[in-house]
Amino acid sequence: MVTEIEFPRKLLLAYNAMCKPLCKKLGLPQTAFDILMFLGNNPEYRTARDIVEVRDIKANLVSVNVERLVQEGYLKRRSVAGDRRKTELLCTEKAKPLIKEGRAVQLAFGEKLFAQVDEETRRVFVETLDSIGKNAEEILKGEH
């Protein structure tokens, strides 16, 4: 049985294992791939600071991998009007096929996770995760 502590770690390891062949094919490190997928799947986030804060990736790793993605043409930087210190990161046309492949891997990962799980159990699990997520938000707000 997987404990509550082991569960997130096993999910991450399993996800990384499923992404490894695509990362190898693309010649990208996992962190660069994760950054690109984060930006591609969450267009409301556009800055390196967003990646650091939301994905909890160390700033130096974000910096190195964003620079690589820019150099390889997957991301471009754009200055933010009215804030000369802020730079947005935008996915390029070159990134779109990669993001599409990445989404297919993510979808397959979800399907594999729920293999041999009936619809009712899946529904209850998703509702439970939603409740846990809301509880975590309350804790973070200091309303425990």
Q: How many whole angstroms separate alpha carbon 27 and alpha carbon 30?
A: 10
Q: Judging by DSSP bridges, how do beta strands 83-91 and 75-80 pair with one another?
A: antiparallel
pLDDT, position 39: 97
Q: CATH for 6-113?
A: 1.10.10.10
Question: What six digits make up the tokens of 10?
Answer: 């096993």
pLDDT, position 143: 61
Q: How many whole angstroms separate alpha carbon 11 and alpha carbon 39?
A: 21
In tens, the pLDDT along 45-90 reads 999 999 999 999 999 999 999 999 999 999 999 988 877 778 999 9
Instruction: Please give the average per-residue pLDDT across 100-111, as a whole number.
Output: 96
In tens, the pLDDT along 10-54 reads 999 999 999 999 999 999 999 999 999 999 999 999 999 999 999
pLDDT, position 5: 81
Q: Is the dihedral of CA 51, 22, 9, 111 positive or negative?
A: positive
Burial of 106 (0-12, 13-18, 19+ CB in 10 A): middle
Residue 43 DSSP SS3: coil
Check: pTM over 0.75? Answer yes or no: yes
Q: Per-domain residue ranges for the chain?
A: 6-113
